Amino acid sequence: MKTTWAAGLMGMVLSVPFALLLAAPQAVLAQAAPVATAPPAWHKAEGLALTPPMGWNSWNKFQCDVSEQLIRETADAMVATGMKDAGYQYINIDDCWHGERDARGFIQVDAKRFPNGMKALADYIHSKGLKIGIYSDAGWKTCGGRPGSRGYEFQDAQTYAEWGIDYLKYDWCNTEGLNAEGAYQTMSAALRKAGRPIVFSLCEWGNQKPWLWGQKVGHLWRTTGDITACFDCVVNHGDWKAWGVVQILDMQEGLRQYAGPGHWNDPDMLEVGNGLTANQDRAHFSLWAMLAAPLIAGNDLRKMPESVKAVLTQREVIAINQDALGVQGLRHAAKDGIETWVKPLAGGDWAVMLFNRNKQPRAVTLDWAQLKLTDELSKRSLDAVATRYQLRDLWAGKDLGASGAAIQRELPAQDVFMLRLKAPH
């Protein structure tokens, strides 16, 4: 047997050109024994966030005023209000949960705010059929001045995995001297090494164009600075600015090609229920649905009025956001403050929305003869005259018959008219 094996090996080697043996012996090995290429060590966990994440985050309403009691009560409210049944999963604790690091460098919770520890809180949230998210920062300190993860990435990821964390929002304060892509790769590698599937949210604010490199690193990336509870304004904080809904909306132009299942553009969290008008809440939620944006509520779920709950749990609008095709919508036309948005959906359906960004009502016309397009991203064409789609008014919850004749409406200020076009089968 030894003689036969040796002769076979010699025959294999002699079959390779002599020049190739001298010039590139590694090529011979590659030919003899091809090896599958493993993903990079910093590659995100696969199979997560196949539709935009849905959940709640503490920052927009409570900022640093977080506690174990608040998070438990919010989890209870997410179930009781029907938000869980509508698709919301994540209860995300933002900044200021941190205590200090122990002698070995492992992060601790603030024992006064979280007396039973993060593992017990995660267990409670999981018992509700929900998932828990946490926050850290790529710099030495978080934006709220708590310990950041710089230099402790692998320890922190291991800690999060042991606690049962499902989602990490990773911020970009106090990062002097760091390269964003490299810093996020480091934490991505740490999460992968920890062994628990964790959704990785890159909160770099869009400064280093994370849509160009974030797809393999994380599951979503912020495209802008922070949102504020204003529909159309800019709040200047000196060395940084917070943006209103329409300002952030305009910053999404040109980014839709980078989004898809498992990798989403993130125009920041929802301000629904935080002081906007009813029209603005509805428009804000609808726009984020059309953008295939994460739907992360930021209001007080324990005390929200029925009108706010009705927006956040509007299942037909949520279905546009959560559509399995995973294509971000596009602004097809804009004139005099009236915008036409379209979004291709699975199964041949479309979402079409008119948005009035003016501060006064406007008479609008949805003329199907004028709304003909081919979306280069999805390779889908829309012609609602040649194809008779069944029309569903999503916010009114009414069927409007088949497409063909133009639709005229009085569209209230800063509001939307949103349709699902159901393809004939």
Query: Which residues have a catalytic role annotated?
Result: 171, 226
Q: Which of 93, 89, 71, 74 is nearest to 168 (CA)?
A: 93
3-state SS, 139-199, equals CCECCCCCECCCCCHHHHHHHHHHHCCCEEEEECCCCCCCCHHHHHHHHHHHHHHHCCCCE
Residue 13 has phi, psi (to 5 degrees) of -65, -40
Token pair, residue 186, equals 């480091």
Token pair, residue 243, equals 């943006």
281: number of CA atoms within 13 Å, CB side? 22
d(CA 253, CA 35): 41
DSSP labels, 268-329:
----TTSS--HHHHHHHHHHHHHTT--EEE-S-TTS--HHHHHHHT-HHHHHHHT-TT----
Contact 195, 229 (CB under 8 A): no
Q: Which of 241, 55, 93 is nearest to 171 (CA)?
A: 93
d(CA 279, CA 284): 9
DSSP H helical segments within 17-174, as ranges?
A: 18-23, 25-32, 59-62, 68-80, 83-86, 117-127, 153-163
What are the C-alpha distances in Å from 71 to residues 46, 59, 137, 300? 28, 12, 20, 11
d(CA 165, CA 48): 14
